[in-house]
Amino acid sequence: MNESNGTETATLPSHTISVFVHNRPGVLSRIAQVFARRGYNIDSLVVSASHKEGFSRMTIVSLGDPAVLDQIIKQLNKLVDVVRAAEHVGGETVERELALFKVTATVANRTELLQIVDVFRAKTVDISDESLTIEVTGDSPKLDAMEEMLGKFGIIEMIRSGKLIIARGSLVT
């Protein structure tokens, strides 16, 4: 239920869009504006340099109606600095996220925490008398499960990278 107006809100599908762009000032702002004009929020955004000098890769996750997202992708492809924008679905991509969790760690619970780290194939990247910092990579559900498991110990801080994708095989991202 939407608290602001008391109406039911349907669960909107998640869309993952990759955008290959010229690495120039203002490109991110113009891309964000395309989403804003349609009333869409960007739920996750990862931007990094690409393997080609002068270009960057963006991975954008947004929730919404597929028809409207299709229009957003068409508008993105019309922007001067956008080389290619496309949605990626299902098993056509490899998806990963990175998360860092700083958790309260006492002598009494440290062994249990380290067992959880082992089960999730995570890494302990920092340890102190009061805390343990854990690095974990995987898909979003794995990171959500890790967060739930660590929650009972007391999460001091958490940061997630957002989704990264790359097309499988000979497909282009």
The DSSP bridge partners found for residue 124 are 134
Residues 4-60: tens digit of each pLDDT: 444 444 577 889 999 999 999 999 999 999 999 988 899 999 999 999 999 999 999
Rounded to whole angstroms, what are the CA distances from 73 to 31, 32, 52, 131, 151? 10, 12, 22, 43, 37
Residues 74-115: tens digit of each pLDDT: 999 999 999 999 998 877 888 999 999 999 999 999 999 999
169 alpha carbon, distance to own chain's centre: 22
| Model pLDDT, residue 7 | 41
Phi first, then psi: what are they for 95, rounded to 5°? -120, 140
Q: Which two tokens stand for residue 46?
A: 């990862």
* Global pTM exceeds 0.85: no
Sketch out the chain's domains with CATH numbers.
14-88 (3.30.70.260), 94-166 (3.30.70.1150)
